[in-house]
Chains A and B, each alone.
Chain A
Amino acid sequence: MSYEKIEQPVEVLVAFRGERPEPMVFKWGNRYYQVQKVNLVHAERLGREKVYYFSVSDEANAYRLSFRTESLIWRLEEWCAFT
């Protein structure tokens, strides 16, 4: 298993389906990654700021995206792949 902490800002395209947001595509570096499934969503507080974590995956990899509610920044936190 390859695992890497990334912690870099990414551009994310999000769909609001009903009342819930779902990351659809994100751009990391110069590549676009299509999210196939949102597996788990959880949140934690860092002081007043609330951070939502989206554990998403495609066929080959799993990623964790975070969204910070104070600064409105999306980041790619982790990347994990099985070889």
Chain B
Amino acid sequence: MTRDGCACVEQSVPSLFLLAMPPRLLCHIDMNSYFASVEQQANPHLRGRPVGVCAYLHRYGCVIAASVEAKQQGMKVGMSMEEARTRVPSAVFVQNEPSKYRATTAKILRIFRELTPTVEVYSIDEAFLDLTGWCRDEAEAAFLVTRVKHRIATEVGEWLRCSAGIAPTRFLAKFASDRQKPNGLVILNHQNLDECLARAELEDACGIGPRIRRRLERLKIYSLLDLKQAPVGNLMRSFGKYGFYLWAKVNGIECERLQDGEPVPKTIGHSYCVPMSVHREKKVAAVLARLTERAGRRLRRHGLFAGAIVVTVGLRDQGTYRTECLRFCEPVADPWSLGDAASRTLHVCWKGEPVDFLAVTLVDLSRPTAQTRLPLIPTIASGLRTTDRLPALGRSLDVIRDKYGEQSVVFGRMLPLLDGDDHAADRIGFRKVELDTVAEVSDRGDAEIAWFPI
């Protein structure tokens, strides 16, 4: 078959595929400048001003969200506070407050879940809603989304705005919601898809970064419409399976279902950009212990065990990172095993140099099995470790902390942090938000003011 013939056959595939499938209605809702908007909602004197929400209020602290006004003046997410202040001298910077954003997200998700039970929380500020079966057509879906926007404004906060995209697939719904910001609503269907793709850059699509773009350009594919019309066989020869996914996504073929439950995490970790004072005050090991303990708490909350622990240290003077991994002889979850392992791993990769970054990641996660490796020579010490005593003691500690707070029980290695400083405090994650943390407030009975109208 000629190359043209091959292309012709391949082009007929999506239309046949789509005819065979029942039409789906997916909606992607993305909150605009979310953290900054929540801060402006809480403090009306920040409204209309350029606001940057920072990880830390330090000149090297990273801007994790910028308000619409700040973005218009050139502030970008990822800039250091110093750089953002140079770019926008009138900007106001505030420290991020994770509990505020999580509680607000919980209220917004509750509105979404009244529309459809199939809601995938993609990150703390965006979600996919499967409206298939709940709306007859895109117009009805658009009406529903407009009502959602109104409810968010009246029931959560009038300063909160969102962009929405309605399309037959997840990818196209997300692509559509990115087309019009802020406060947009875009419907993508097979009638206007080509027109919309032709206007978009390759990197506008989720999953295409600079490297993939360069590789696509080498294949003479310069726009998303070119990608849609490219022969899928050629793409698969260049990119393998990923080539098919790229082609399928822009052709409106669904490759992944909505995950309306909480996915099991593959890794659990915490990191911290270490200020110089931590090194001066010899608190590096204590900060790592706190990071490990927080990762351990999340591990146990998920009912998982870790097969290995990875510690990363950023060296301030050399500008490099050192990473060490320690594999456990059997998966563990108790705080003692995790803490000891983190401490030992730290001292393998760190010899007392000034550090500017610390991270601990629990990997190779697994569900508990009934199998237990017994010690060959049973001693009291080893008996303590291999029987259920340490895990049971760890669970008891978790119960105490759940009841009396995280600081009610601390390990000796964390004592240097007890003087009131907030090193390695709670931080917000952008992707794959854990539903239990979002629902932390909502699921334990705050219904009495959950619908607090403004």
Give the interface of A toward B (CB within 8 A): 1, 19-21, 37-50, 52-53, 55, 57, 61-62, 64, 80-82
- Asked whether B218 is an interface residue with its Cβ less than 8 Å from the other chain, the reply is no
- Asked whether B448 is an interface residue with its Cβ less than 8 Å from the other chain, the reply is yes
Q: Which residue of A lies closest to B406 (CB)?
A: A47
Q: Which residue of B lies closest to A45 (CB)?
A: B440
B444 touches A50 (CB 8 A): yes
B42 touches A48 (CB 8 A): no
* Residues A62 and B441 in contact in the complex (CB < 8 Å), given A20-B448, A38-B454, A40-B157: no
For B408-447 the 0/1 string (1 means CB < 8 A from A) is 1000000000000000000000000000000011001010
CA–CA, A55 and B408, complex, Å: 28
28 sample A-B contacts, Cβ–Cβ < 8 Å, listed by A number: A19-B449, A20-B452, A37-B44, A39-B42, A40-B38, A40-B41, A40-B42, A40-B104, A41-B452, A42-B99, A42-B103, A43-B441, A44-B103, A44-B440, A45-B441, A45-B444, A46-B405, A47-B401, A47-B404, A48-B403, A49-B405, A50-B446, A52-B446, A52-B449, A57-B45, A62-B42, A62-B43, A62-B44
B45 touches A44 (CB 8 A): no
Q: Which chain B positions have C-beta within 8 A of A64? A: 42
Q: Which chain A positions have C-beta within 8 A of B38? A: 40
Q: A20-B448, A39-B43, A81-B45 are in contact. List 4 more A-B contacts (CB 8 A).
A: A1-B45, A47-B403, A47-B404, A48-B402
CA–CA, A49 and B402, complex, Å: 9
CA–CA, A57 and B446, complex, Å: 23
Q: Which chain A positions have C-beta within 8 A of B99? A: 42-44
Q: Among the interface residues A20, A41, A80, which one has the most CB atoms of the partner chain B within 10 A?
A: A41
Q: Which chain A positions have C-beta within 8 A of B449? A: 19-21, 41, 52
Interface residues of B in 133-191 (CB under 8 A from A): 157
Q: Among the interface residues B43, B448, B452, which one has the most CB atoms of the partner chain A within 10 A?
A: B43
CA–CA, A52 and B441, complex, Å: 10
Q: Which chain B positions have C-beta within 8 A of A55? A: 41-43
Separation in Å of the B438 CB from the closest CB of chain A?
12
- Asked whether B384 is an interface residue with its Cβ less than 8 Å from the other chain, the reply is no
CA–CA, A47 and B398, complex, Å: 10
B402 touches A43 (CB 8 A): no
- Asked whether B92 is an interface residue with its Cβ less than 8 Å from the other chain, the reply is yes
Q: Which chain A positions have C-beta within 8 A of B45? A: 1, 57, 61-62, 80-82
Q: Which chain A positions have C-beta within 8 A of B448? A: 19-20
Q: Which chain B positions have C-beta within 8 A of A19? A: 448-449
